Amino acid sequence: MLGDTVLNRWNLRRIEECRTLIDWLAPRRGERVLDIGCGDGYNTAAIAKSGAIVTGIDVNERRLAIARRRHRGLPVNFQTMNAETLSFADASFDKAISFCVIEHFRRDDLVLANVRRVLAPHGVLMLSADSLTNPEIREVEREIHGRRYDVSTFYSVDLLRRKLDKAGFALQRWRYILTTPVTLTLVRASWSLDDLPLSLLPVKAAGYLALRLVGKPLSDLTERIARRPDSGLTLLAAASAR
C-alpha cells in the first residue's frame, strides 16, 4: 500500500478533500484536536503545525509506528484505539476530524456518539465519507467499491444529517466533491491503479503521478464549470455539538 503521504499529494481523490476539511477545521494554537483514523499521520502533522495539540488514533499498529517515526517533534500523540470504543474522558477535545473513515465502521452510530461525548461543549467535527451518489455510478460499482475498500455505508447528505442529529450534532455545512462525469472517469482509473499488486508498485506510482499532474487540472476545470451540488463521490461535512 502506498502511504498516506503519497495518497494525499498524488491521489486526485484525496487532495480537495483533505485541504478543505483542514481549512474548515481552522486549527488554532493550543486547541485540542482528535484525528480519527490517522493512518501514518500525514494530515495529523499538518494540523499540528498550526500549534494545535493533536491526538491521532488508529487501529493499524504498522501505520501508527510510521506516524510516530515520521512526526517526532510535533505536538502529536498517536494512540492505538478504535473509535467505536473511545476511552478518552468526556470533553477531552475542542475539535475532531476524520478523513473518509466513518464509512468503514459497522457501528457508525457508536462512533458519532463517542465523538460527541469526548468533545467539549460547542465542539466541532469535520468529516468526509464515501458517497458515490453520482448518477453515472451503477449499483454494481457501489457493490464492488464496498468490497474493495470495506465500505459499510455510503452517505448522502440526508442520511448523514439524520445520523449526526441522533448523536447530538447539528450539520452546519456540507459539500459534495468529485461530481462531474470527467472526474468520475479519472477516479475510475485511480481505482484500477489501487488494484495493482505490489510487484507493480512503480507502475502504480507513475499512474498516480500522471493523474495528479494531468488529470487533476482537468478535473478541477470541469468541477469549476459544472460542479453538481447534490451528488458526488465524496461528501464533506462540518457539524457542531449541540
Question: pLDDT per residue over 93-125, tens digit each?
Answer: 999 999 999 999 999 999 999 999 999 999 999
pLDDT given for residue 213 in this prediction: 93
pLDDT (tens digit, 9 = 90+) per residue, 49-94? 999 999 999 999 999 999 999 998 898 999 999 999 999 999 999 9
The pLDDT confidence band at residue 205, using thresholds 50, 70 and 90, is confident
Q: Is the pLDDT of residue 3 over 80?
A: no
Q: Is the pLDDT of residue 48 over 80?
A: yes
pLDDT (tens digit, 9 = 90+) per residue, 31-47? 999 999 999 999 999 99
pTM, two decimals, is 0.94
Q: Three-state SS across the chain?
A: CCCHHHHHHHCCCCHHHHHHHHHHHCCCCCCEEEEECCCCCHHHHHHHCCCCEEEEEECCHHHHHHHHHHCCCCCEEEEECCHHHCCCCCCCEEEEEECCCHHHCCCHHHHHHHHHHHEEEEEEEEEEEECCCCCCCCHHHHHHHHHHHCCCCCCCHHHHHHHHHHHCEEEEEEEEECCCHHHHHHHHHHHHHHCCCHHHHHHHHHHHHHHHHHHHHHHHHHHHHHCCCCCCCEEEEEEEEC
The pLDDT confidence band at residue 8, using thresholds 50, 70 and 90, is low
The verdict on domain 4-241 having CATH code 3.40.50.150 is yes
